[in-house]
Amino acid sequence: MKYFSTRNRDGVGIGLDDAILQGLAPDGGLYLPEDVNPIDLELFSEEDSFAQCCEILYGQIAPELSESVFEVFDFPVELLPYEDSQHRILELFHGPTAAFKDFGARILASALGRISKERQISPTVLVATSGDTGGAVASAFEKIPNVKVVILFPKGGVSPRQELQLGCWGEHVSALRVEGSFDDCQALVKRAFTTETLREKHRLTSANSINIARVLGQVSYYAWASIQTPNYSYVIPTGNLGNAFACVWAKRLGFPIGSIRLATNANQTLRQYFETGDYQPRDSVSTLANAMDVGAPSNFERLVSWFSTLDEMKAFGIDVKSVDDAMIESVIQNASFTMCPHTACAMSATSALNSIIVSTAHPAKFDTIVEPLRGPVCLPESLEGLLDRETRYTDIPNNFEYLSNFLG
Ligand SMILES: *Cc1c(COP(=O)(O)O)cnc(C)c1O
């Protein structure tokens, strides 16, 4: 399968390994496969474990990734009933950093480790994080020393526990605390990628969901869940649209998926687009669901590349619901189980029957928000081990020269 930039679909296609290594396409676009061929559903069975399902899935759509699935996906996915309703909860937070970003980050790290070895190169992964990405990426690369990792995060924009998790990895993983917002961090990273000298010198690649491996890694649990419970709708906490795009991908592959609802926080870019057809990126606003504080969702470009009009998107079953902080608080306070603020957005946005509510992080990662509303939350074992580690950061202003100097 060849991969093409969203900005040059008539250009020269490249292989998946090259697309992963590049992260962002040189023209600023995002990589997508040439085709999405319908999958043979007969290959899958309800009895398959999650990792078995992944082996079949990637064997079909991305053989480059299929060898490592048992190592990459060595933690469970849980699909649980919700009270006595028809709804289900898809828990994606049982990986090493207790958020769904572990899926994409681990498949990416494994692929980059393999590619670097095969080609005898040492790339640098540059990544902006609004919280969970950085921890998941850093953790995923801990045992891959031939890849350097540089993480940018907004000062004051991530939870104290998330912050601790960013700076506690080996010498080849650095955390930069930026005087600015997540969008500023993302803009710095984008600029580094489009500065050719820098990009080539360090073989820069991205671990944000602009990297196709991240999104591919997330198709896995939609495939598996849809085989377990066919024809359910999905309500997905959405920021940069990487997670939701993976669901769209799974549905295009032919997995039995109903409608796809993008649950956003008070950031209105997507809601407004679905209401008016007018896409207006804007500055992000801070909310309780901070991993979704995004004013210019990076995977939007992939979405519009697959649907030529908004009506087509809607006909495919995609819609948006925006949830404000008051609703998030109320759900956290009153629901029958304890959940993180992002999952609370999805919970609040659910209206269709037979919905799968996607639960993106363990509530203990957002203890400063959840505990005052709900009481003490136990730490999962994976996080407990991390919080005792020593942590270090470098503070930088929102200025490209500093990033450039840091990279050397
Ligand atoms: C990143 C993140 C999201 C948003 O996912 P996108 O792929 O950016 O849309 C939602 N919830 C949590 C907990 C996250 O870490």
Q: Is the CB of 99 under 6 A from ligand 1?
A: yes
Q: Which atom of ligand 1 is nearest to the CA of 209?
A: 7
Say what the pLDDT of residue 167 is.
86
Question: Ligand 1 centroid vs 209 CA: distance in angstroms?
Answer: 10
Q: Which atom of ligand 1 is nearest to 130's Cα?
A: 1
- Same-domain check for residues 217 and 358: yes
Report the pLDDT value the prediction gives residue 289, as an integer from 0 to 100: 96
Q: Which domain holds residue 119?
A: 102-211+388-407
Ligand 1 pocket test, pick from 101, 216, 261 with the greatest ligand atom count within 8 Å of Cβ, gives: 101
Predicted local confidence at residue 129, as pLDDT: 87
Residues 176 and 293 grouped into a single domain: no
For residue 132, which atom of ligand 1 is closest to its CA? 15
In this structure, the answer to whether residues 180 and 249 fall within a common structural domain is: no
- For 268-324, the pLDDT digits (tens) are 999 999 999 999 999 889 999 988 999 999 999 999 999 989 999 999 999 999 999
Mutational test site, ligand 1, from 94, 209, 247, 292, max ligand atoms within 8 Å of CB: 292
In a domain, 294, yes or no: yes
DSSP collapsed to 3 states, 68-117: CHHHHCCCCCEEEECCCCCCEEEECCCCCCCECHHHHHHHHHHHHHHHHH
Q: How far apart are CA 212 and CA 222, in angstroms?
A: 16
Ligand 1, atom 8, lies closest to the CA of: 240
Residue 44 lies in a domain: no
230 and 349 both lie in a single domain:
yes
- The response to whether residue 217 sits with its C-beta less than 6 Å from ligand 1 reads no
Same domain membership, residue 78 and residue 124: no
Question: How high is the pLDDT of residue 348?
Answer: 97
Position 3 in a domain: no
Tell how far the Cα of 345 is from the centroid of ligand 1, in angstroms: 11
pLDDT for 100 equals: 96
User: How is residue 347 written in tokens?
Assistant: 């919970």
Domain count, the chain: 2
The pLDDT value recorded for residue 406 is 94
Q: Looking at the structure, do residues 313 and 230 belong to the same domain, yes or no?
A: yes
Q: Same structural domain for residues 258 and 378?
A: yes
pLDDT at 217: 97
Three-state SS letters, 120-177: CCCCEEEEECCCHHHHHHHHHHCCCCCCEEEEEEECCCCCHHHHHHHCCCCCCEEEEE
274 and 172 assigned to the same domain:
no
Q: Is residue 393 part of a domain?
A: yes
- Is the minimum distance from the CB of 214 to ligand 1 under 6 angstroms? no
Separation in Å, CA 110 to CA 2, 67, 133, 271:
20, 10, 16, 35
Same-domain check for residues 134 and 251: no
Through-space distance between the first and last CA atoms of the chain, rounded to whole angstroms: 36
Could you give the CA distance from residue 28 to residue 190 in angstroms, rounded to a whole number?
8
Residue 34 alpha carbon to ligand 1 centre in Å: 26
Closest-CA residue to 187 (of 218, 212, 208)? 208
For residue 360, which of 5, 114, 15, 95 has the smallest C-alpha distance? 95
Regions of the chain with pLDDT less than 70: none
C-beta of residue 386 within 8 angstroms of C-beta of residue 168: yes
Q: Is the CB of 263 under 6 A from ligand 1?
A: no
Q: Is residue 337 part of a domain?
A: yes
Q: 107 with 98: CB under 8 angstroms? A: no
Question: In angstroms, rounded to a whole number, what is the distance separating the alpha carbons of residues 190 and 183?
Answer: 10
In a domain, 139, yes or no: yes
Interval between CA 201 and ligand 1 midpoint (Å):
31
DSSP state of 7: T
Supply the CATH number for residue 161's domain: 3.40.50.1100
Within a domain: residue 23?
A: no
pTM to 2 decimal places: 0.94
**Are residues 294 and 357 both part of a single domain?**
yes
Specify if 30 maps to a domain. no
State whether 252 and 115 are in the same domain: no
403: Cβ contacts below 8 Å, ≥ 6 apart: 152, 176, 188, 192, 396
On whether both 355 and 400 belong to a single domain, the answer is no
